[in-house]
A and B are shown apart, each in its own frame.
Chain A
Amino acid sequence: MDCHTLILTGAALSALSGWPAVALPARSSTGQSLAALMNVAGCGLGLAAVWMFFVDGPAAPLSCPSPVPGSDFIVAMDGLSAFFLAPVLLVCGLASIYGLQYWPQREGAANARRVSFFLGLMTAAMVVLVVAGDGLLFLFGWETMAVSAMFLVATEDQLAETRRAAWLYIAASHLATLSAFGVFALLYSQTGSFTYSTLPDSTSAAAVGMAALALFGIGTKAGLMPVHVWLPGAHAAAPSHVSAIMSGVMIKMGVYGIFRVASFFPEIPLSWGLLTLAVGTISAVLGVAFAIGQHDIKRLLAYHSIENIGIIVMGLGLALVGRATGHAEWVLLGICGGLLHVWNHALFKSLLFFGAGSVIHSMGTRDLDVMGGLGRRMPTTATCFLIGAVAICGLPPLNGFVSELLIYLGLFGAIQADKSSMASAAAFAAPGLALVGALAAACFVKVYGIVFLGAGRSERTARVHESGPAMTGPMILLAGCCALIGVAPVLFAPALDQAASTWVAADAGLNARVAELSLSTLAPLVPVSIVAGILFALLAVGTIVLLRRVRTSPKSLTWDCGYAAPSARMQYSSSSFAQWLVGLFGWALRPRIHLPKIDTLFPADVDFESHVDDTVLQRAVNPATRFFMWLFGLSRHLQQGSLQVYLLYILLIVVGLLLWKPAGS
């Protein structure tokens, strides 16, 4: 049995996993357990297939006839797809376990069956999309994924907000689908088939069109900055384990599309690389800036997805710059940094969404400003969330640091490079990445501090309890994975090397040079482990010293500068913590601030509010939509509702057609 058969069996199992729940009674928890079991089994088979691929090497492609005449569906797993498959399978499997307690069928009979059904279908669709070896199967998987994700976003469709988010999502998603169609149609026009292959040249209009459609069209799915508008709403509206899948792996499918299309080009102009790098940097900086202003924990995490996709695209941009200027080491560092960040983001972002789900499940709200002090009541969730938070800020000794380090190495390589080339402009992304890291740290200190530390800001925090093992288990596993990649990155270098060599295969000259290099010689992966060891040793020593010293300490109140009656409401809130940074980024964030007016000596109770809406959505997309609604609304005058008028239309058109003569004839 080769890896293709195995992974397709797994995908089939996942796709069918929803049927038992549909067949069994609505309130039976057996159905959901069966569904989870089948999906986990399917994902397990898939992971086995990925393992097999990395151990045994690629298998012969499978093909079967497709509905489109003259072309076949091809299944061909290569280094790049195997690399993207691993997080898909891991996160989807864990999410269905998590869902057992997060969205139990016994309580939410109305929609839990739907969640199970579409979760399995979406898993299978993503697997098919990634293992596809041609554009048709890719599109097949893509569309199935997009539609099942829409049903998952619309799980709570009794809420107007959720319905709006789902519509926006499906509209944006179809823009991406349309672009993907465009990309593969252009591929067909250039090479005569839908199969993935190298284009004859990179300078033709079709090739340029493909590149632009990939970055800005497929990039819609990935959530790159100007075209990210659907992302925050959809992630916030979906159930948390679905958000984990969407943010952790589904948007990565957009990234996969961009990476895949980029591998078709035989050579890359320098301007494409710099443009990609710039788009990535802008996404990263503005994504995290918007995140800082949010009060809704899931919207906040969603904006961080935009940031991390930006970092991944920065890696891609660096690799493209490397290809344009013939620097094999930048290519390797950029592509490996980007790809490793794909894994890392899948791990820590699903961890964070699981953690957020655990909090929301207990608190019943997503609003940060009513939380506080949850760490004492849900210690496992809090600790896992903290690990995720440190990881997403790219801090050592966890995984985020490793991928960012790789990208930094490449970017600093660019400033040391040849003296007269524009390639050194790439180096300006490095301070941008540093800014992103500092902003992310600010944001996650805020989230972790407001949610888990301090005193509870509302009465609800007193009734909070730790989540069950089906929810904490996946979190612990993901936290472990984050630590493993951070502490021993060298284990993953061979897989990264293989994925990178797949990606540059189109560029024959560079391919040979990339093959000579290996990530473990280019990047200090072993020293990273040693530093992690030193850090852990120092932390252990420090903790022991401190614990020995403070065993008999008395407890007291927090020092509040002599004020006698401090209350929990006086703590810094998420809004006040972010105020400075939101102000500094005010030119992009456009915060809405409602300042109370105080004009008497003893004013009544007043409220202060500040909101950060999505600037692109509010200022560009919504006005444009309103304009088109108005424009097409004009045609409503045609709809008169009387049969006579409609008959008249028919008559007019027939007459018109009779009179109309095509220009050429």
Chain B
Amino acid sequence: MFDSLSIHSVLHVLTVLLFPPLLLGVINRTKAMFGGRRGRPLLQTYFDLAKLLRKESVFSETTTWVFRFGPVVGLATALVAAMVVPLGHASAPLAFNGDVILFAYVLSLGRFFTMTAALDTGSAFEGMGAAREATFACLAEPVLFLGLLVLSRISSSLEMNALLGDAVARGWHASAAPLLLVAVCWFVVLLVENCRIPFDDPNTHLELTMIHEVMVLDHSGPAFGMIIYGAAIKLFVFVAMIVNLVLPFRTGNSLLDWIVFLLGTLFVAVLVGTVESVMARLKMAEIPKLLIGAGVVSLFAVILLLSYP
């Protein structure tokens, strides 16, 4: 299952470890540009992480070991998920038949412990956040899997490398409409899984309206750093999947492909920032509607694909 430890594997791991916080910087910069501000430095997230790692943590008296374990699981699962996703032409270092299922479930594991850690504080707000996160995850998961069905049929495989590899390029010729629908729906999943506007506002200052941010309200110091880092990696993973889906074309030159891929991720980050700038947050009651709508559209994509002779 491991290919020989190639330069790509090393680059893959390094990219996963070092690149993701930059995406948060790009999103923030985009939003600042729309707002007519200069915004904080692109590398601010790295500085934040470095600072948080040096800080002390404060723990609530009601918490147990579950509260401290949550961020660790969140980060570890994000890393494992990142190991199975190919980055552009470079195939993933960890690949086997069925790794897409592992991808979805390992992220679920991270979510499980983040929510548990939130409930450990005994705060009504964090309970609220956990309940919302759980609900939206239930609605987002089928969308992800319906998209996987489409890709799995196009590539006749259940391995991420093949699923998001050359088969997609052929797929854009033969069955563009379903792929386009999947790309759009997965973008919605990206926004909801990573707590972006219009589903959640990472910058709001009112606990009552938050989802993800309110769950991690009580974390501090290195634990909070782990949460931010884990969230950045998770965002990067979803962005990478969408880039793979939309830009499956290879130049043949390895270096050029890497550059194209990384530029693609930055572009998606700009896109996320743009969506966040031009849209308002949805009313809470509207969110299930949008997610179920995405589900219906992806269901339609599967059926459309099945109807092709």
Partner of B135, one of A450, A543, A555, A581: A581
Indicate if the CB atoms of B158 and A454 lie closer than 8 Å.
no
Among B59, B125, B141, B207, which residue has its beta carbon within 8 angstroms of that of A438?
A: B141
CB of A427 closer than 8 Å to a CB of B: yes
User: With A412-B158, A441-B111 in contact, do A577 and B57 touch (Cβ < 8 Å)?
Assistant: no
A577 and B207 contacting across the interface, CB-CB below 8 Å: no
Contact B72 A542 (CB under 8 A): yes
Q: Which of A21-29, A126-134, A146-154, A428-436 contacts B (4 or more CB under 8 A)?
A: A428-436
Given the interface pairs A531-B102, A559-B217, A584-B288, the reply to whether A572 lies near B108 with Cβ below 8 Å is: no
A571 to B129 Cα, complex, angstroms? 12
A606 to B76 alpha-carbon distance, docked (Å): 45
* A413 and chain B: residue at smallest CB distance: B158
Q: From B76, B101, B149, give the contact of A431 (CB < 8 A).
A: B149
Shortest C-beta distance, B184 to chain A (Å), equals 17
* A546 & B121 in contact (Cβ 8 Å cutoff): no
Partner of A449, one of B69, B130, B302: B130
* Whole-angstrom CA separation of A375 from B58 in the bound complex: 20
B76-109: contact bitstring with A at CB < 8 Å (1 yes, 0 no)? 1101100100000000001011110110111011
Question: How far does the Cβ of B116 sit from chain A's closest Cβ, in whole Å?
Answer: 6
| B146 A393 Cβ-Cβ under 8 A | no
**Are A442 and B137 in contact (CB-based, < 8 A)?**
yes
B contact residues around A580 at 8 Å (CB): 131-132, 135, 288
C-alpha spacing A373/B66, complex, angstroms: 12
Distance, CA A409 to CA B80, complexed state (A): 20
Q: Which of A96-104, A174-182, A262-270, A522-530 contacts B (4 or more CB under 8 A)?
A: A522-530
Task: Assess the A527–B58 pair: CB atoms within 8 A.
Answer: no
Q: How far is the CA of A435 from the CA of B97 in the complex (A)?
A: 22
Neighbouring A residues of B105 by C-beta, 8 Å? 394-396, 401, 404, 437
Given contacts A386-B66, A434-B145, A523-B98, contact A546 B112 (CB under 8 A): no
The answer to whether A442 and B153 have CB atoms under 8 Å apart is no
Stretch with Cβ within 8 A of B (4 or more), from A62-70, A505-513, A560-568:
A560-568
A59 → chain B closest CB, angstroms? 37
| Stretch in A114-122, A472-480, A532-540 with 4+ CB within 8 Å of B | A532-540
Residue in A531, A534, A555 whose Cβ sees the most chain B Cβ within 10 Å: A531
The CB with the most chain A CB atoms within 10 A, among B105, B138, B146, is that of B138
* Shortest Cβ gap from B50 to chain A (Å): 13
The answer to the question of B232 belonging to the interface, with a C-beta cut-off of 8 Å to chain A, is: no
| Shortest Cβ gap from A430 to chain B (Å) | 6
CB neighbours (8 Å) of A408 from chain B are 98, 101
Q: A438-B137, A579-B131 are in contact. Are A373 and B149 (CB under 8 A)?
A: no
Check B135–A442 contact: CB distance below 8 A.
yes
Query: B66 touching A375 by the CB < 8 A rule?
Result: yes
Indicate if A439 sits at the interface (CB-CB under 8 A): yes
- Residues 107-128 of B contacting A (Cβ, < 8 Å): 108-109, 111-112, 115-116, 118-125, 127-128
Q: How far is the CB of B268 from chain A (nearest CB, A)?
A: 24
Tell whether, in the assembled complex, residue B61 and residue A557 are in contact, meaning their CB atoms are under 8 Å apart.
yes
Would B125 and A543 count as touching, CB distance under 8 A?
no
Are A558 and B121 in contact (CB-based, < 8 A)? Answer: yes
Among A373, A396, A558, which residue has its beta carbon within 8 angstroms of that of B60?
A558
Tell yes or no: B231 within 8 A of A by CB: no
Partner of A524, one of B98, B116, B152, B217: B98
Please determine whether A409 and B138 come into contact, CB atoms closer than 8 angstroms: no
Q: Is the CB of A405 within 8 A of B101?
A: yes
Which residues 267-309 in B have Cβ within 8 Å of A in the complex?
288, 299, 302, 306, 309
Segment at the interface with A among B220-228, B240-248, B251-259: B220-228
A550: Cβ under 8 A from any B Cβ: yes
With A395-B112, A439-B138 as known contacts, state yes or no: A535 contacts B121, CB within 8 Å. no
* B153:A416 contact, CB within 8 angstroms: yes
B66 A396 Cβ-Cβ under 8 A: no
**Residue A424 at the B interface, CB < 8 A?**
yes
Q: Which of B51-69 contact A (CB under 8 A)?
A: 53, 56-64, 66, 68-69
- Within the assembled complex, what's the spacing in Å between the Cα atoms of A340 and B130? 31
Nearest CB of B to A436, in Å: 9
Complex Cα distance A481/B181, Å? Answer: 43
Q: Are A442 and B122 in contact (CB-based, < 8 A)? A: no
A553–B57 contact, CB under 8 A? yes
Q: Which of B94, B97, B139, B226 contacts A542 (CB 8 A)?
A: B226
B111 to chain A, nearest CB (A): 7
Which listed residue, A394, A531, A553, touches B59 by the CB 8 Å rule? A553
CB under 8 Å from chain B, chain A span 462-482: none
Q: Which residues of A contact B94 (CB under 8 A)?
A: 527, 530-531, 534
The residues in A between 590 and 626 inclusive whose CB is less than 8 angstroms from any CB of B are: none
Closest-by-CB residue of B relative to A427 is B149
Q: Does B262 contact A (CB under 8 A)?
A: no
**How far is A561 from B118 in the complex, measured between Cα atoms in Å?**
15
A442-B116 contact in complex given A542-B226, A549-B57, A568-B122, C-beta closer than 8 Å: no
Determine the residue in chain B with the shortest Cβ distance to A550.
B57
Instruction: Assess the A431–B146 pair: CB atoms within 8 A.
Output: yes
Q: Does B144 sit at the interface, judged by CB under 8 A?
A: yes
Which B191-217 residues sit within 8 Å CB-CB of chain A? 207, 217
Q: A543-B72, A556-B61 are in contact. Are A431 and B142 (CB under 8 A)?
A: yes
Q: Are B221 and A571 in contact (CB under 8 A)?
A: no
Give the docked Cα–Cα distance between A404 and B141 (Å): 15
Task: Looking at the assembled complex, report how far the CB atom of A195 sits from the nearest CB atom of chain B, in whole angstroms.
Answer: 39
The residues of A that contact B183 with a CB separation of less than 8 Å are: none
CA A409 – CA B157 in complex, angstroms? 10
* Given A431-B149, A445-B115: A546 touches B130 (CB 8 Å cut-off): no
Q: Are A572 and B127 in contact (CB under 8 A)?
A: yes
Q: A631 on the interface (CB 8 Å rule)?
A: no
Q: Which residues of A contact B102 (CB under 8 A)?
A: 396, 405, 528, 531
- In the complex, whether A554 has a CB less than 8 A from a CB of chain B is yes
Interface flag for A372 (CB, 8 Å) = yes
A570 within 8 A of B: yes
By Cβ-Cβ distance, the 9 closest A-B pairs, closest first, are: A572-B127, A449-B119, A454-B122, A442-B134, A542-B72, A538-B76, A527-B96, A558-B60, A431-B142
Supply 7 A–B pairs (Cβ within 8 Å), ascending by A: A415-B149, A442-B138, A454-B127, A550-B56, A552-B56, A559-B123, A561-B125
Known A431-B142, A438-B137; further 10 A-B contacts with Cβ < 8 A = A409-B158, A415-B152, A430-B149, A435-B138, A446-B134, A453-B66, A453-B122, A454-B122, A549-B57, A550-B221
Please give the residue numbers on chain A whose beta carbons come within 8 Å of chain B beta carbons, in ascending order: 372-373, 375-376, 382, 386, 390, 393-396, 401, 404-405, 408-409, 412-413, 415-416, 419, 424, 427-428, 430-432, 434-435, 437-439, 441-442, 444-446, 448-450, 453-455, 523-524, 526-528, 530-531, 534-535, 538-539, 542-543, 545-546, 549-550, 552-561, 566, 568, 570-572, 576-581, 584
